Amino acid sequence: MKIAVTSQNRRTVTEHAGKCRKFWIYDTEQGQVTGKTLLELPLEQSFHESSPHEPHPLDDVQVLIAASMGPGLHQRLAAKGITALMTSETDPDQAVAAYLQGTLSSGTGSCDHGSDHHHHHA
């Protein structure tokens, strides 16, 4: 399985997935990371600039982790069968490790409308 993480500065999980042009691509097998490569997209290949109907370098990933993204991109990824996740985790390695363990915390930097991510513990 391939997991992409937005990392415009190559160090942390960055926001605005649609405008991001640098992604860490993690190759995983049986819940373990087997490889990590940096994918750098030209401007016209960013989600913001490219057509949803054209092939895209990220089409072969199963999961995309970002600090934030808009609902349009979320739907676009879902249409391609890609799970889009938002996280408050800032370290790409930690975010992927947490995802593989099923403990990835979803971020609050969301552009969700009327989301139910507010946990009220009485």
**Confidence label for 79 from pLDDT (cuts 50, 70 and 90):** very high
Domain assignment present for residue 116? The answer is: no
Domain assignment present for residue 88? The answer is: yes
What pLDDT, on the 0 to 100 scale, is given for residue 110? 42
Mean per-residue pLDDT, 2-28:
97
Residue 59 structural domain: 2-101
What pLDDT, on the 0 to 100 scale, is given for residue 81? 96
CATH number where 93 lies: 3.30.420.130
Pair of tokens at residue 68: 């934030």
Distance CA(41)–CA(31), nearest Å, equals: 27
User: pTM (2 decimals)?
Assistant: 0.85
